[in-house]
Chain A
Amino acid sequence: MSEEHRPDREFGFHTRSIHAGARPDPTTGARAIPIFQTTSYVFEDPESAAAYFNLQEYGNTYSRIMNPTVAAFEERLSNLEGGIGAVAFASGLAAQSSALFTLLAPGDHVVASAALYGGTVTQLKHLERKLSLDVTFVDPDRPQNWADAVREETKLLFGETIGNPGGNVLDIEVIANIAHDAGAPLLVDNTFATPWLCRPLDWGADIVVHSATKFLGGHGTSIGGAVVDAGEFDWSNGRFPIIAEPSPAYHGLAFHETFGTYGYLMKLRAETLRDLGGAMSPFNAFLFLQGIETLGLRMDRHVGNARTIAEWLSERDDVTQVRYPGLAGSKYGELVAKYLPRGAGAVFCFDLDGGREAGQDFIRGVRLFSHLANVGDAKSLIIHPASTTHRQLTDDELAAAGIGPGTIRLSIGLEDAQDLLWDLEQGFAQIG
């Protein structure tokens, strides 16, 4: 046993963005985190192998369940979010479905924000049918809506730090209290904020999910996601036998009793990830780690550019609405001041004075903004939902989704703001 004692220090966010999870490789001394491109790991001896498979010892068995490069990403993200640990997945949606699969059982009820990302809403409706769940979607802006929707079978409340396209900011502390009064955890998708702008676990959320594909990576090269657990929720409150009671998959092991606060994450990894298999690749984990090293620096610039552009758009006569919660006078102003003091993210929508055609013309006019269906890249991105992602919807259906025929979504990148304004000006010129 080493004699070394490490005096504990609360390191800052940027230090942790670079160092958390990044211990030098003990075998080679490699300073960068190696890409452990291996499916499996040789056991020291039969006793060690048995101990790993029985979950009696922390060790590597098979890369569908754990991998050293992926583990470094998991530890870094959970450290930045203030969680006790994380499990990475092949995508944000895989992370989400696995987070839900681990804690929900048929017959359970979920209260979810109606402003959730469209892919999440689709996933919830799919799971609702396949897993016999019941999901109630509520307008997230009034806490009373959440409280009114809660009922005896409610096992989860689900929101996003910053919603889209409306830019809704979740009153995390209030919604977390409503969840806990109901004996249910609050799960928050923190993709748009990242832990640099907001740490939902600090405000009482129990679980955070991420699409790492977006700002965490920041490079638009890799698909990935993660679930982070605060380790605060009491799964033994009698409402979660799925976690508290003996698991037939591990000869009757009771995850919550045996692993205490780590029970949910252990079950998420040792059962859900093992059985459903949506593992993150080590190469993608490596790229996400590279991205996270500069997370705070990048987010400050994303936010600075977004604010400049949102303000510029809001002063134009040919723009009817700019839905950036960071603008002065936004109805989310107080929530932004409380939860997002460093800025309200860099993804927002604005509405052109004109219909679908104006939206398409605008897209045709720009040349620096990339026309594609993603957000959170170093490159600025643009999309016209009415002619792409929401193309099949009628104008009435669009309105119900909070999208107008002339709505444009921007994801503001790290370029020079003046160049982005120049480019948007070309979009406006194209409408004529």
Chain B
Amino acid sequence: MAEIENMEVWQDPETIQTILHNAQTVAIVGLSSNPLRASNFVGFYARRHGYRVIPVNPRETEVFGERSWPSLSEIPEPVDVVDVFRAPDAVPGIVEESIAINAKALWLQFGVIHEEAATEARTAGIDVVMDRCLKIEHARYIGRMHVLGFNTNTLSARREAPA
């Protein structure tokens, strides 16, 4: 796994929460129709929690009943978050496309680490999260990760609305 000195700057809790709270549309690059793959877990979960999920994968025709697009550039509607399940060397190309389609955020999943490309995206005004899982972070701050004994690292004496 690539080692990055300051991984924390790509995993900022404020940025993560801003993205999760504001996003409506998530394009998942590398989304698989195989229900055992991590990308499918994340897509399934995101849909359950009200996000519009757009599959981007030239090897799929349809995932979750949604048409799968061969590339980001071909998606005929605005995209808030580009969520990436691809090998790190695919990231620079995805960043170029993300800038071209005016995506608001780039989310690189576990192990999808590419510091230069991430920096380029950030310079272009895109919020970037790297080496984090969108499903887990959603479950930590908004969802119910705590029901399985995970450390959400959140702490509050306020009463939340029932789930």
Q: Which residues of A contact B (CB under 8 A)?
A: 1-3, 5-8, 11, 15-16, 19-21, 23-27, 29, 31, 51, 54-60, 66, 68, 70-75, 78-79, 83-88, 234, 246, 251-254, 257-262, 265-266, 269
Contact of A21 among B13, B139, B146 (CB under 8 A): B146
Q: Which residues of B contact A (CB under 8 A)?
A: 1, 13-14, 17-18, 20-21, 35-38, 41, 44-45, 48, 50, 110-111, 133, 136, 139, 141-163
State whether A24 touches B44 (Cβ < 8 A). no
State whether A75 touches B146 (Cβ < 8 A). yes
Q: Is the interface of A mostly helix, strand, loop or mixed?
A: loop
Q: Sample 10 A-B pairs with CB under 8 A, ordered by A number.
A: A1-B50, A2-B160, A6-B156, A57-B45, A70-B149, A74-B150, A75-B149, A83-B151, A87-B149, A234-B1
CB-defined contacts of A79 to chain B, threshold 8 Å: 151, 153
CB-defined contacts of B14 to chain A, threshold 8 Å: 5, 7-8
Q: How far is the CB of A250 from chain B (nearest CB, A)?
A: 8
Given contacts A5-B21, A71-B147, 4 further A-B contacts (CB under 8 A): A72-B146, A84-B150, A234-B1, A262-B150
Q: How far is the CB of A253 from chain B (nearest CB, A)?
A: 5
CB-defined contacts of B159 to chain A, threshold 8 Å: 24-26, 29
State whether A261 touches B110 (Cβ < 8 A). yes
Contact of B160 among A21, A26, A72, A246 (CB under 8 A): A26
**A292 CA to B36 CA, complexed, in Å:** 38
Contact of B157 among A19, A59, A88 (CB under 8 A): A19
State whether B158 touches A84 (Cβ < 8 A). no
**A54 CA to B34 CA, complexed, in Å:** 13
Q: How many contacts between A and B, using CB within 8 angstroms?
A: 127
CB-defined contacts of A258 to chain B, threshold 8 Å: 36-38, 41
State whether B149 touches A88 (Cβ < 8 A). yes
**A23 CA to B153 CA, complexed, in Å:** 12
Q: A5-B18, A7-B14, A8-B13 are in contact. Are A71 and B146 (CB under 8 A)?
A: yes
**A260 CA to B37 CA, complexed, in Å:** 12
CB-defined contacts of A15 to chain B, threshold 8 Å: 155
**A188 CA to B162 CA, complexed, in Å:** 38
Which residue from chain A places its CB closest to the CB of B150 in the assembled complex? A85
**A55 CA to B41 CA, complexed, in Å:** 9
Q: A1-B142, A24-B159 are in contact. Are A75 and B1 (CB under 8 A)?
A: no
Q: Specify which of B17, B36, B50, B155 lies most central, judged by the most chain A CB atoms within 10 Å of its CB.
A: B155
State whether B149 touches A78 (Cβ < 8 A). yes
Q: A26-B161, A29-B159 are in contact. Are A257 and B38 (CB under 8 A)?
A: yes
Which residue from chain A places its CB closest to the CB of B109 in the assembled complex? A260
Which residue from chain B places its CB closest to the CB of A15 in the assembled complex? B155
State whether B41 touches A56 (Cβ < 8 A). yes
CB-defined contacts of B20 to chain A, threshold 8 Å: 1
